[in-house]
Amino acid sequence: MKVYVEGVGIVGPGLNGWQASQPILAGTTPYAESAVVIPPNNMLPSAERRRTGMPVKIALAVGSEAIAHAQRNAADLPSIFASSAGDGDNMHNIFDMLANNGHEVSPTRFHNSVHNAPSGYWSIATKSMASSTSLASYDESFVAGLIEASAQVLSKEDAVVLISYDTPYPIPLHETRPISAAFGVALVLTRNKSGRSLAMLNIDIHHQRKSCSPIDIAPLEALRVTSPAARSLPLLAALASRTTATLCFEYVAGNQLGITVQPC
């Protein structure tokens, strides 16, 4: 599969948007670890905004950044949402309510418990009537989302936005499923090259047992292996450095994903 990257959005510890993160990911500016900062976003009406948790806020932030970067209209783009964890804080609160009284689950909590809640908020925020897919594939959720988005671009769409995000679970869920930090990434992918294209991605699925590609910044490599959405970091580093790179990612059932990145 050959697709083009036209826009990027990113939120993570010490990574505050694509413009500020590019020199860090390219290795020309030192990385300084800091708390995750989600930029203010007024896309949603205030009543809806109050109901959202961190996963929705991250998804809206990175999605809107990538689409602005690509100079596209969000309402026109089909969307792919990929997350391993969903909203762990919300699930914890529902479990706590059920364990303590078994009856009074907040309607807002219940509404936000479904895996496609960020997709719903996105459609409200962008007034999009385009198709949307929400998926999960454990640690390979970003890779699964990238495959789905690329397939849709090549089969029926001119462009799509992929939005991948994960946030830590609270204790005691964290003890069973540790995720180190909140992270979100969005890519606008297109079928054809344009004047805004950053790079071409040549993607294939194979059964070879190659070593997965790391990122050559130690704190970000630690993040990559402990936050599923951050598996995207080697690809983001290649996009930021604007160099040709051959990358390998783990996928499911013994498969791997190979990506050759060629800057435009």
Q: Contact 86/55 with Cβ under 8 angstroms? A: yes
Tell me if 99 is assigned to some domain. yes
Stretch 165-186: mean pLDDT, rounded?
Answer: 93
57 to each of 39, 47, 52, 195, how far by Cα in Å? 9, 14, 7, 30
Q: What are 218-237's pLDDT values in tens digits?
A: 999 999 999 999 999 999 99
Tell me if 215 is assigned to some domain. no
Query: Shortest CA distance to 187 belongs to which of 77, 55, 262?
Result: 77
Tell me if 251 is assigned to some domain. no
Q: What are 47-81's pLDDT values in tens digits?
A: 788 788 899 999 999 999 999 999 999 999 999 99
Amino acid, res. 232: S
Sign of the Cα torsion 89, 94, 99, 105 reads positive
Stretch 18-46: mean pLDDT, rounded?
Answer: 92
Lowest mean pLDDT among 5-19, 99-113, 178-192: 99-113
Give the contacts of 159 (CB within 8 A, at least 6 positions apart).
6, 70, 72, 77, 153, 188, 189, 190, 191
Q: Contact 3/204 with Cβ under 8 angstroms? A: no
pLDDT of res. 102:
66
pLDDT of res. 51:
80
Query: Shortest CA distance to 137 belongs to which of 67, 210, 80?
Result: 80
Tell me if 260 is assigned to some domain. no
Tally of domains in the chain: 1
pLDDT of res. 153:
96
- Give residue 158's domain range: 2-198
Could you tell me what percent of the chain has a pLDDT over 90? 74
Tell me if 124 is assigned to some domain. yes
Instruction: Select the more confidently predicted residue: 51 or 204.
Output: 204
- Could you tell me the pTM of the whole model? 0.95
Tell me if 192 is assigned to some domain. yes
Tell me if 204 is assigned to some domain. no
The single residue listed with the structure tokens 């809806």 is 48
Is there a cis peptide before residue 168, judged by omega within 30 degrees of 0?
Answer: no
CA distance 242 to 200: 11
Q: What are 82-134's pLDDT values in tens digits?
A: 999 888 888 888 888 888 876 677 777 777 788 888 999 999 999 999 999 99
CA distance 98 to 35: 32
Tell me if 226 is assigned to some domain. no
CA distance 214 to 135: 24
- Locate the DSSP E strands across the chain: 2-12, 15-16, 79-82, 132-135, 159-166, 183-190, 199-206, 245-250, 256-263
Token output for 208 = 């070879």
Sign of the Cα torsion 256, 169, 145, 138 reads positive
CATH number of the domain where residue 166 is located = 3.40.47.10
pLDDT of res. 141:
97
Stretch 150-169: mean pLDDT, rounded?
Answer: 94
